């Protein structure tokens, strides 16, 4: 798969951390974390196909294909090794990347994600709905899927979904339908932090985050209270603190 649309921020000589967005959002999902991360790391954000103005896909792809696109991006930028943090689908890409190219991933953060996102059927159904009716129906219900009822600032994130190309969204749903890393988690070698929103509906801590943390050797699980599926947006200070502390401990750009 070709390298994705991207943006770099932070010091040019700092160790690199790649940030992966969730289904239906753009690289701007990570804006709450960007100031803190860009002080100490070179931050590489990217967009999924058809998201954030990136071109729509012209063929089906898998989560592993998306990981291949990140490898192509790192190769093109001359980056041998990086940390990686991803939310939901972006987290699945991180898991696939760490399994596919363990020597390239120096540290890993998997936020509000899963080794398997449930039965494939509902994802295929959602893809068919969006191909038939556009992203409107899923945008109308996005705030309730992504956030707790107490969160008042959902609109900028829902706007990202409304701006997403329908085929890009649907193709990502198909990729999620086919993703299952459950039996391979023991192959992740990067020091890993798993972050879960305590009130996450799509990937709740029990059955999703706990399986990641239990299957990846040495992984640590942090559950963020008062957070739904996009925990980094709903509880930015708590999530930023967890990520920066993990990277401080594990990723200074040195070979390990």
Residue-wise pLDDT tens digits, 209-225? 999 999 999 999 999 99
**pLDDT at residue 27 tops 70:** yes
Among the listed residues 117, 107, 95, 254, the one whose alpha carbon sits nearest the alpha carbon of residue 187? 95
- Grade residue 253 by pLDDT with cuts at 50, 70 and 90: confident
* 130-189 tens-digit pLDDT: 999 999 999 999 999 999 999 999 999 999 999 999 999 999 999 999 999 999 999 999
Is the pTM of the predicted complex or chain greater than 0.85?
yes
* Whether pLDDT at 254 is above 70: no
57-108 pLDDT, tens digit per residue, is 999 999 999 999 999 999 999 999 999 999 999 999 999 999 999 999 999 9
Residue 55 has what pLDDT?
Answer: 95
d(C-alpha 50, C-alpha 198), whole Å:
30
The set of long-range contacts for 205-211, using a CB threshold of 8 Å and a minimum separation of 24, is: 208/113, 208/114, 208/115, 209/110, 209/112, 209/113, 209/114, 211/114, 211/115, 211/182, 211/185
Q: What is the pLDDT of residues 1-11, one digit of tens each?
A: 777 899 999 99
Q: What's the confidence (pLDDT) of residue 169? A: 98
6-250 placed in CATH 3.40.50.1820: yes
Gyration radius from the chain CA atoms: 16
Q: What is the mean pLDDT of residues 239-252?
A: 96
Number of neighbouring beta carbons within 10 Å of residue 5: 17
User: Contact at 8 Å (CB) between 217 and 43?
Assistant: no
Q: What is the pLDDT confidence band of residue 256, given thresholds at 50, 70 and 90? A: very low
Phi-psi region of 52 (alpha: psi -120 to 50; beta: other; left: phi over 0): left
Quickly state the pLDDT bin for 255 (edges 50, 70, 90). very low
């Amino acid at each position: 798969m070709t390298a994705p649309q991207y943006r770099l921020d932070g010091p040019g000589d700092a160790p690199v951390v790649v940030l992966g967005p969730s289904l239906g959002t753009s690289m701007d999902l990570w804006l709450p974390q960007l100031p803190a991360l860009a002080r100490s790391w070179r931050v590489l954000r990217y967009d999924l196909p058809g998201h954030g103005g990136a071109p729509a896909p012209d063929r089906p792809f898998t989560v592993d294909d998306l990981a291949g696109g990140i490898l192509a991006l790192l190769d093109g930028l001359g980056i041998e090794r990086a940390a990686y943090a991803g939310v939901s689908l972006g987290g699945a890409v991180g898991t696939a990347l760490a399994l596919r190219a363990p020597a390239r991933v120096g540290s890993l953060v998997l936020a509000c994600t899963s080794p398997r996102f449930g039965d494939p059927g509902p994802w295929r159904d959602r893809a068919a709905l969006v191909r038939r009716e556009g992203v409107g129906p899923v945008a109308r219900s996005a705030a309730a899927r992504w956030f707790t009822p107490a969160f008042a600032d959902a609109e900028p994130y829902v706007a990202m979904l409304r701006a997403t190309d329908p085929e890009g969204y649907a193709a990502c749903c198909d990729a999620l339908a086919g993703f299952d890393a459950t039996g391979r988690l023991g192959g992740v070698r990067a020091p890993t932090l798993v972050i879960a929103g305590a009130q996450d509906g799509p990937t709740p801590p029990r059955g999703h985050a706990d399986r990641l943390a239990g299957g990846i050797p040495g992984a640590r699980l942090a559950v963020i209270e008062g957070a739904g599926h996009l925990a980094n947006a709903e509880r930015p200070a708590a999530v930023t603190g967890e990520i920066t502390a993990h990277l401080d401990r594990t990723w200074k750009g040195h070979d390990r």
